[in-house]
Structure 1
Amino acid sequence: MNDSVLVLTLAGAVITGTPIALAALGALLNERAGILNLGIEGIMLVGAVTAFLGTQATGQPLLGLVAGALAGATLASLHGFLSITMRANQIVSGLALVIFGTGVAIFLGQPVEGQALVPGARLGRTAIPLLEGLPAVGRILFQQDLVVYGSWLLVIAAAFYLTRTRTGLALRAVGESPATADAAGIRVAMVRYTHVALGGALAGLGGAYITTRGAPWDQAATTGGRGWIAIALVVFASWRPLRALAGAYLFGIALRVNFALQAADVRIVPPQFLTMLPYLLTIAVLIVLSATDTRRRLGSPAALGVPYVRDER
């Protein structure tokens, strides 16, 4: 593999990993609040089609991104209502959200199935002066678009928020022991609702990024299972934002390496196996997630997936 192919592959991996990073950050905030949201894939699909339609109508990809984030927050709030107020089983509610979100996306996207945004309406690259000229690194990291740069800021802000702010510490307390947090005067339901909606907005933004970047709308392939990868990535990252970003780029490389090896005419590994690799890793991580003892060792919030009933504290 020559240097140019490697650089282009890594630059593409950043683009591919960005929606995964955004969705994983959203899932991470949900889970830090004690809410397990398995509906990330459905939220991403709704965000993707809403952003596509919004951008197509206005010609402004930034407005499309905002529309996708709002759609994601709205859909996630439904999961919040079922999980927090109605105290429904969070796994069942999350899976129902995938089905519901997929159905909504198919319905909204029927008129534009298979279409892509015209080049003038797509999110373009915005190179960072001075840094863009750095050998290799400049092309990989500093000739990207605003969403890529924004995702870095969001991850850093989330890491600071969770560890250095009172509100972030309150969030962590709610995820670890909602009864104790409630006794300390923290409004558990409000904290959970807020972060479920915020997490949904980030997942919707991740889906929106895919279509505003130029991918055609195709409900079967637009997100391509990235929502499930994001859920697994939260565990892989031990519920830490910076690790989630690094893991998202690793998954981005795994998703791109197949094309890179074909471009370099490398046939040692079957391309079908390379295509499956990210999803095999996702399944492995989800199996790990199912073991309670393993989750605790990895740093899982103690109250993850457990409804809080105030009278039973």
Structure 2
Amino acid sequence: MAYRFFTDSTVEANVQRILNEQLEKAIQELSEGIQKTPEQAIHSTRKRLKKGRAVLRLVRKSIGEKTYQRENDQLRSIGQALAPARDGAVYQKTLNDLIEIYGISLENKGLADLQDSLADLYKSELKALIDRDDAIAPILADLKESRARLSNLTLHQTGWKAVSKSLEQVYRQGRDRFHAAYKDGNDETFHDWRKRVKDLWYSSCLLKQIWPPVMEVLGSEAHYLSELLGDGHDSAVLQHFLRHHPSEVALSDTYLQVLMPLLVHRQDKLHQQAKGLGKKFYSEEPKTFIKRIHSYWRSEFSGSN
């Protein structure tokens, strides 16, 4: 079913349904898809986990901090267990995008060797995860435990009150992280901002039915902004990897000196694009934003009990 609240159902029922759907799909991917298409299975599983965590964040104030931290930490740790096998794919994509954007010639053997060694590294990490007898089974067990608990998750509030405080917090944190990112300028603050932008994107998907045309625009802008910041983060991640690359990665100092400035330039350009959109995106005060969303809720959401 759709990743959104249905307006003819209660918030609690929507939350239980969506969490169960996302975790069930994640379990299915790791149970059935991991041997057939491991890259896709890991990517899909991590996406399901992020969607599940976004649901928890939208009702954070209504389930209590202790419950939120326990369930969020569990889903986050599962995603982190799968992350190393995903990182290799990011390195490859970021390098290939860089080559295309800056028109770097592939006739040179050095770059081709780097591409090949990154591909080999990714394949070996993926194989190591799949072949380990003790790798996937514990992850599946944790997923099933989370699904069992979250399918019966109880909210302490109903209707708009069940989501309003958490939604305001998501917007407020994103706004604060936006200003912090351009004040501090370091990779960590930009990454923190991106995570809060993604929270708002997922929230707009969940609340789409309260006013589809408006929430679609909000979601589209949040998604685009998160993509800009995501590409910037991938550039930072590749920079760090290349500076500290393992011996099996073929990279000479000459090509390191060529690639690093391009990665920095690409990242700066993405951050400048994100800045203009961020100013527009966070132009409202948090209280004003939440009042506006509440007005849509009152008009359209019938499942407010």
- Length-normalised TM-score, structure 1: 0.30
Task: Considering Cα pairs closer than 8 Å and 6+ residues apart, tell me whether 1 or 2 has the greater RCO.
Answer: 1
- Length-normalised TM-score, structure 2: 0.30
